[in-house]
Chains A and B, each alone.
Chain A
Amino acid sequence: MLFNSFGFLLYFLPAVVILYWVVPRGYPRLLLLIVASSVFYGLWDWRYLPLLFGTTLVDWVAGHAIARTKEARRRKLLLAGAIAVNLGLLAYFKYRGFFLDSLNGLAGLFGADEPLPVLKVLLPVGVSFYTFAAISYAVDVYRGMIRPAKSVVHYLAWATLFPYLMAGPIIRYGHVGEQLERAQQRFRLSLIGTGVFFLAMGLAKKLLLADMMATYVNDLFAHHGQLGLLSGWGAALGYTLQLYFDFSGYSDMAVGVAFMIGLRFPQNFDSPYKAQNPSDFWRRWHMSLSSWLRDYLFIPLGGSRGTTLATVRNLLLTFLLAGLWHGPAWTFVFWGLLWGVFQSVHVLFRKWGLTPGWVWLNRLLTFLCAVVAWVFFRAASMGEAFDILGSMIGLNGVRGGKLLPVAPVLLALIVFGLLWVNLAPNTWQIKPAPKLRYAVALGILVGASLLAMSTPSPFLYFQF
């Protein structure tokens, strides 16, 4: 089920919100959340519910065992076991085909005729997100950052919580689990009002901006060989903005939905295109993932406490794995590597005092890094990405001939989007208030979004 569907907005969400506030506090509410989340997930494909519960329960069991054990080696083994199971399942469902294809390619180079059979298995939606969340639980318990969940019901209510189950943000038990464990608060209209505010902002970003851009961007990427300088930039900038409005819109909607059941999610986007360097960008973009990578990968690798060379190595490794996390494709691997390089260059420049002092130049350079990286992120193949980058530096000419033009509507959306991401406050910087002008503006956005919802369009991050 999609957030941007009539089924969710008109039936599922109101039903869950009403039931949530009607049923008694404590376990009944948590059980309701588990059932609602199961229905939400099961409507996509109920056959993957056992995988969802199985993957996450591994960490519940491990967390409890770790908390009861004082012997360091045994604790470490338990943690390693839980992580191995999580990553093993993730690897099986997400990367099996990629590795077999790569192996077949390699074997082909050495003259092997018979390719290894590739079993086609549907990628379970949200598997990357809930696996990472579950790992964070086991690690946090191991580190003593949190105590184990109060009960399996509390744990499952957190692990399967529908507002973030499908596409994040990756929310740790230490944040929402703690809210679930406390006596849940009473119903207040301000929760619904704030939830509607976030939901409306997210819907508008997704349906009125991202989806409108998608039509043109998809067309340009589909004709990557026919792009000139202008259409190449149109494709790259269009996708840069489309992805932001799509994913930050989804994140806003998740925050809004959570608000309606009295939960507060952390911020996932903090005006990332206002970032002044690659490091700053990753503190603002998909913050729940970047903080996960920082806490569970980068820092355990040594972070930046060692030599500069070690820092560069850790950055490259972290982002390489971040790329692979997004999907089993060389374009994602290269995208991650590219960000690792950008970060490393920034570290070196900063060390040598070569970072420009002019804020807008820093922002522009960081934005360009993002635009180039997103080309690889979006392209179906490395060749396609290089085609588009080639057109962006004018290898195919500016326009004319058989080159595709940039549609005026896309151009207008790009200009509007660039002004938005550079000048406007983000959703979290707006303090919602029950005022007439807010109500009218939100109502118009909700109405327009519902009118734009006639064609179902999944969020871009659902594929991860």
Chain B
Amino acid sequence: MCAPTPSAPSGPCERPTLRGILPPHPLAPSLAAAVNPDDNEPFALSPEDEGPGVPDRLASGGQSLDRAEGLSRAVVESGPAAADEPAPKPGLKKRVIPDPPEIDQARGRRTFWFLLLVVVAALVVMAAVGTLNTLADPYGLIGMKLLPTVTTSDRTVKADAIERLTKAPQLIVLGSSRSMRWMPEHFEKVTGLRTFNAGVNGIGGTADAWAMVNFVHDRFPDSTPYYFWLLDVESFVPFEVQGRTANEPRLAQYVEGSGTVRKTPSVVARQVWENRSSVFSLTTAKDAVRVLRNRKKVKRIYDEYRGRFKSDGTMADRPLTRGEWKKRWPKSVKRYTDLYEEAYFSLDPTAKKYFEDTLAFMNEHGSAPLIVLTPINPKLRPYVDPLGWPERHQQVLDYLDSLKQTYEFELIDITDITTWDGDPEGFYDGVHMTVENTARATDYVLKQMAWPPK
């Protein structure tokens, strides 16, 4: 009997060759000789390679033996070597493939505790990093608010601004990032109504509108504002509640599957679970440490971001340089071509549900919103038209038309800028307009719709 080996715990000796289990082939010896490298093959181990510092790699002819001591099994890849076969020709070498090193199988009990300890150590490391990331919450995903965040969230800025309002807004602008430069001061000039811009970043965003409308209502329950809702053709893309809304507790309470304002342990645990890929991440840990070490700097950066917003919720206008335009335009083209190529084939039911819930909520509280289909840069159309933009546009119009019997709202489509004499150069990229263009569009819409109604 041979000594036990990993491959054969007990039993007869294994022959260190495959040939031993093969019926001898009539051609085998000569073929084997033909394919066995001799010592001079550059790929083989040759005596010339043996030099200072080279371990003894030649003994078995094929692999390093510097760590082959105690190898349990050797498989011969080629070459005649079996005991019942003719002796190898002089000069031919066995090519031995050693087994990987292995834990001693006799130590089964110790191996159990070893594995258990590996798991425990791994869990301890993960728990430690997870706790750090939860407490420092560098992206504001958990809503701990113990430290400033490295990310900037316009949801938080807007929620703060709404909380700071002393009087209820009489007109509220809703929408995506495209609505950011529809200026309340211009609305106020034309309509005389106290206006707040509650638009937030992100394609889609009917859930954002739902959350904002509810939040404003809870802040000013007795008010009945007018709503100027800038809806995009892309507002109904396959739906996911925008992470930043889901993670701003004051807004998250209104959207499905998000947290609530109160940070009970179970709520924190749920937030941790929902954001597990971020909480259990070394990248987040790096930012958590950054926040801990540079609290003041991080806070300053955040304050600078806040500074870009005015108290009425809009962003200060800033003309783009040629260089910035060059960077933004291809990104914008890619973003929208990807969207139409890969994701936006029909209107998403969940996005529609949030949209209709918002309409119902507004109607219940005495408001009939004006829905404005937002303009698109005519230079982007050649890219997105072949990918289905006209079809989605028509679908959105048909959908809105179908809602008219159920909900009360006004609709105007200004996607084509020629209808309102828009400036094709008045875009920052494929969809975002300059203040001059938004003012021109505002004037056209208000005049065309005779809105707000007297």
Contacts and interface: CB of A to CB of B under 8 A. Distances in A.
Contact of A188 (B45, B105, B123): B105
Contact of B122 (A300, A346, A433, A443): A443
A189 B111 contact: yes
Contacts, number: 231
B55 to A, nearest CB: 10
Contact of B32 (A145, A311, A442): A145
B103 A434 contact: yes
A299 B77 CA distance: 15
Interface in A183-202: 185-186, 188-194, 196-198, 200
Contacts of B51: 276, 357, 359, 362
Interface in A410-464: 425, 428-436, 438-440, 442-444, 446-448, 450-452, 454-455
A291 B52 CA distance: 25
Contacts of B105: 188, 190
Given A190-B111, A264-B7, A434-B103, A295 B78 contact: yes
A97 to B, nearest CB: 21
Interface stretch (B113-121, B342-350, B422-430, B436-444): B113-121
A430 B67 CA distance: 9
A120 interface: no
A294 B41 contact: yes
Interface stretch (A42-50, A216-224, A265-273, A329-337): A265-273
Interface string A18-35: 000000000000000000
B42 A440 contact: no
Contacts of A264: 6-7, 73, 99-100
B293 interface: no
Contact of B75 (A174, A185, A431, A450): A174
A282 B201 CA distance: 54
Interface size class of B (residues with CB under 8 A): 35 or more
Interface stretch (B124-132, B134-142, B379-387, B410-418): B124-132
Given A190-B104, A447-B122, A290 B43 contact: yes
B54 A440 contact: no
B406 interface: no
Nearest to B53: A359
A74 to B, nearest CB: 13
Nearest to B284: A454
A432 B122 CA distance: 18
B43 A283 contact: yes
Contacts of B113: 434, 439
A451 B282 contact: yes
Contacts of B277: 454
A304 B122 contact: no
Contacts of A279: 42-43, 46, 49
Contacts of A198: 100
B287 interface: no
Contacts of A158: none
A104 interface: no
Given A343-B42, A350-B48, A428 B101 contact: yes
B53 A276 contact: yes
A186 to B, nearest CB: 8
Given A175-B75, A454-B281, A283 B122 contact: no
Contacts of A359: 51-54
Contacts of B27: 72, 143-144
Contact of A255 (B41, B46, B100): B100
A290 B62 CA distance: 13
B172 interface: no
Given A359-B52, A443-B122, A188 B108 contact: yes
Contacts of A295: 35, 78
A447 B126 contact: yes
Contacts of A265: 100
Nearest to B105: A190
| 8 nearest A-B residue pairs (beta carbon) | A443-B121, A447-B125, A144-B25, A144-B28, A434-B114, A294-B43, A359-B53, A439-B117
